[in-house]
Amino acid sequence: MLFDKFKPMAEFQAELAARDVVPFGAVTEEIISATEGVVSGRRVILAGTNNYLGLSFDARCISAAQEAAGKWGTGTTGSRLANGSFEEHQALERELAAFYGVGHAISFTTGYAATMGMTATLAGPGEVILLDADSHASIYAGVQLSGAEIIRFRHSDPEDLAKRLRRLGDRAENTLIIVEGIYSMLGDVAPLREIAAVKREYGGCLLVDEAHSMGVLGDHGRGAAEAAGVEQDVDFIAGTFSKSLGATGGYCVSQHPELETIRYCIRSYIFTASSSPSVVASTRRALQILQEEPGLRQRLWENATRLYEGLQGLGLPVGPSPSPVVAVVLEDRSQAINCWNALMSAGIYVNLVVPPASPSTNFLLRNSVSAAHSTAQIDTMIAAYAGLLEDGLIRAR
């Protein structure tokens, strides 16, 4: 039957319901601050929100959103090509281009639409896409729509990328290479300096998804490409407003003037309603704050390092290096569910990640750190994980 393929998920949902656990779609009933809320009836520290700079609850961003709603209304009610292109959208695009030091920018309604739209459009039939095997679902969704030949290379492996480009011969010149800045599940950073060197040698276009690295890496917060010193080698940068900027939406920026033509070929841009004015206004204000207050980024990394080293010190299996994404890797589904439930009982809300969302067959307790977290909150999170060890729910490696 049509629904048979959904049986494994239905069985998983039934298992969770029987254990009175709701790690997926848990309802936030109240936001107290950027780092605290009431989730499923329990007051918790929010450690699974990707709110890296803590700007989702910033009074200046809220005020900008309120003012824009009063001036422009609650929504655009149309696509950018119909009636949904407001002066605010164009202002945001100018500011994004200026932030990255390039000439061209497109804003999208969601980050998913940005990466899916760009990866579906840039390469097409007769051309090749080389993407990192651990790429986000939005990238995979896009490349499958492109009609291009799709080749995966080993995660963060420049040598494997070079090998596959060599095999393409002259076709390498018409290849789109796709990587991310920070990978969202384990928090590891792409070796962009080496990847850019491979691109220079063999040709092609390089697209970097900076969703989790914009506002996080680089002297000015422009992301992993800035931190690696290879911005001139990157042809397209895509990203989202829903992480460091605390809003909703996505973008692509480029040094290539062709982006203005490509804009009118991206289905996820031309066939969806544009972002509401309030979202655009809060995003613009958050982008200003990101540039004016580099101390937020410093505070974020202090918190991230404190949590990473704290969990590592407990002997827990964490990712390869400190990052605003700190994941504890588990091999057993039942163990992961029990640990997630225990953390909730201790007042800590984290993300439970299961395959295929995780980059392997493992299960993750995924923590995301914010500049708004206090040192005491970070220490409370570490203590909660220590409690898992004491209760025998998890073992040190």
Q: How high is the pLDDT of residue 15?
A: 80
SS (H, E, C) 230-242: CHHHCCEEEEECC
Specify the CATH class of 59-292 in words. Answer: alpha beta
pLDDT tens track, the chain, 397 positions: 889 988 888 887 888 777 777 767 678 999 999 999 999 889 999 999 999 999 999 999 999 999 999 999 999 999 999 999 999 999 999 999 999 999 999 999 999 999 999 999 999 999 999 999 999 999 999 999 999 999 999 999 999 999 999 999 999 999 999 999 999 988 999 999 999 999 999 999 999 999 999 999 999 999 999 999 999 999 999 999 999 999 999 999 999 999 999 999 999 999 999 999 999 999 999 999 999 999 999 999 999 999 999 999 999 999 889 999 999 999 888 899 999 999 999 999 999 988 776 676 788 999 999 999 999 999 999 999 999 999 888 888 7
Please state, as a whole number, how many other Cβ atoms lie within 10 Å of the Cβ of residue 10.
10
CA distances from 354 to 80, 110, 133, 241 (A): 36, 23, 17, 25
Q: How high is the pLDDT of residue 20?
A: 73
Q: Are 364 and 353 spatial neighbours (Cβ–Cβ below 8 Å)? A: yes
Q: How high is the pLDDT of residue 358?
A: 66
The CATH architecture of the domain made up of 4-57+294-390 is Alpha-Beta Complex (3.90)
Secondary structure class of 94 (helix, strand, coil) = helix
Please state, as a whole number, how many other Cβ atoms lie within 10 Å of the Cβ of residue 357.
15
CA distances from 72 to 56, 63, 100, 277, 300 (A): 21, 14, 27, 6, 34
Q: Are 277 and 107 spatial neighbours (Cβ–Cβ below 8 Å)? A: no
Q: How high is the pLDDT of residue 23?
A: 67
Distance CA 131, CA 180 (A): 9
Q: Do domains 4-57+294-390 and 59-292 have the same CATH topology?
A: no
373: its two tokens: 């977290």
- Annotated domain spans of the chain: 4-57+294-390, 59-292
* Cis preceding linkage at 356, omega within 30: yes
